[in-house]
Amino acid sequence: MAAPLRAETLRVALFHTELDRDGPGLLLRDILKDDDDQVRAALAVLRHVDADILVLSGIDYDHRGLALGALADRLPRYVYRFALPPNRGRPSGLDLDGDGRIGGAGDETGFAAFAGAGGLAVLSRRAILRGGVQDRTAMPWGQLPDHLAPDAVSGEMALSTTAHWTVPIDIGGGQTLSLVVWHATPPVFDGPKDRNGRRNHDETRLAHLMAKEAVGPVILAGLTNLDPVDGEGRVEAMAALLNDPAFRDPRPGSVGAVLASERDGGANLRQRGDAALDTVDWPDGANRPGNLRTDLLLPSIDLKVSAAGVFWPPPDALLSSEVERASRHRVVWIDLVTDGGGDGDQRRGLAKAGD
């Protein structure tokens, strides 16, 4: 008789690293020289969080995956690595900025310093089933049902600012976890057409549709650039996602976020949302957004979440200075109870990466 599967804990984490650089090859250079302060801080944070599955953004893409590989080689046992070219820095072939010319930064599908800058990536200790990946990165905005594209030109451009993927991962026990990954445009920095606001809204809608299409357990892992309660943007798509009974919001939080909101003041004093749920430390002065919840891990209802948090340590706590130097964003993580197939809780001892 076969031995019963042992329940284990699988940690999934999301981190907007902001490691993107001003030119191709510069991120690889900074990783390899081992003395870049931001890179070293980001690596220290990621080693501490110790996720089994890690979704990264702000990682410059190169065709051979050299930068991602160099980063992964400095972290423990991420055997499986996945990335595809992002839309950031890619010419749209359209006159998006209406200046009568095609080409230039205003006509890029996603704003970036160069093609491939600020991409997405997945690192995993469990097998990534590459043959089952679904990539909607090139889908024209106008193909989304009931889209909000403000004009015909917008409808022809790719909806995705960075990328939209469904990435299946074998988590053991005969179960496949689908990660729906995206990084949306900020819903600001545009004109009266509100193209960015509309696009941000529809990028969340596309991710929601992709999650509904996936078979089996799903986690949405999104850099949404939109707080569900505070800040600017169209919150209807986010509200529909968070209120969908097929998913459960574990509300990852931290004490550090509360203390930062109290310390920073400014825009944070006018906010209505729970400061404990904030995931990014943005400027707080006049006409600035303040600290918000913009980094989302949302599991489907069929997944058992044993713990969740945001790695935002209080001042003077372990790694607090590294967290500040690594990125304005904080790592969001959730722990899942699975039916086995790895070494998650045996290795980690169920240590929490949070407060």
Q: What is the pLDDT of residues 13-25, one digit of tens each?
A: 999 999 999 999 9
| 346 within domain boundaries | no
Q: In this structure, are residues 93 and 87 in contact, taking their beta carbons and an 8 Å threshold?
A: no
* Pairwise CA distance, residues 23 & 121, whole Å: 18
Q: What is the pLDDT of residues 297-347, one digit of tens each?
A: 999 999 999 999 999 999 999 999 999 999 999 999 999 999 765 544 434
Q: Which of 159, 95, 160, 166 is nearest to 130 (CA)?
A: 166
Q: How confident is the model at residue 2 (pLDDT cuts 50, 70, 90)?
A: very low
Give the burial class of 288: count Cβ atoms within 10 A of its Cβ; 0-12 exposed, 13-18 middle, 19 or more buried. Answer: exposed
Task: Specify the pLDDT at position 250.
Answer: 98
CB burial string 246-270: b at 16+ within 10 A, e below: ebbbbebbbbbbbbbbeebeebbee
Q: What is the pLDDT of residues 19-50, one digit of tens each?
A: 999 999 999 999 999 999 999 999 999 999 99
The whole-number average pLDDT for the span 81-93 is: 96
The pair of three-digit structure tokens given for residue 33, joined into one six-digit string: 């020289």
Number of residues written out for the chain: 355
* Res 5 pLDDT > 80: no
For residue 280, the enclosing domain spans 8-341
| 348 within domain boundaries | no
CB burial string 192-213: b at 16+ within 10 A, e below: eebbbbbbbbbbbbbbbebbee
Number of domains into which the chain is organized: 1
Q: How far is CA 94 from the centre of its chain?
A: 27
| 212 within domain boundaries | yes
Q: Please report, in angstroms and rounded to a whole number, the separation of the first and last CA atoms in the chain.
A: 43
The whole-number average pLDDT for the span 137-162 is: 97
Q: Which of 94, 130, 129 is nearest to 109 (CA)?
A: 94
Q: In this structure, are residues 260 and 291 in contact, taking their beta carbons and an 8 Å threshold?
A: yes
We report the CATH number of the domain holding residue 277 as: 3.60.10.10
Q: What is the pLDDT of residues 238-296, one digit of tens each?
A: 999 999 999 999 999 999 999 999 999 999 999 999 999 999 999 998 788 999 999 99
Enclosing H/E stretch for 121 = strand 119-124
| 350 within domain boundaries | no
Per the listing, tokens 């702000």 go with 58
Q: How confident is the model at residue 1 (pLDDT cuts 50, 70, 90)?
A: very low
Enclosing H/E stretch for 16 = strand 8-16
| 1 within domain boundaries | no
DSSP 130: G
| 75 within domain boundaries | yes
Q: What is the pLDDT of residues 60-69, one digit of tens each?
A: 999 999 999 9
| 351 within domain boundaries | no
The whole-number average pLDDT for the span 184-189 is: 93
Q: What is the pTM of this model?
A: 0.94
Task: Specify the pLDDT at position 145.
Answer: 97
Q: In this structure, are residues 220 and 247 in contact, taking their beta carbons and an 8 Å threshold?
A: yes
Q: How confident is the model at residue 98 (pLDDT cuts 50, 70, 90)?
A: confident
Give the burial class of 157: count Cβ atoms within 10 A of its Cβ; 0-12 exposed, 13-18 middle, 19 or more buried. Answer: buried
| 347 within domain boundaries | no
Q: Is the dihedral of CA 198, 201, 204, 206 positive or negative?
A: negative
Higher-confidence position of 96 and 262: 262
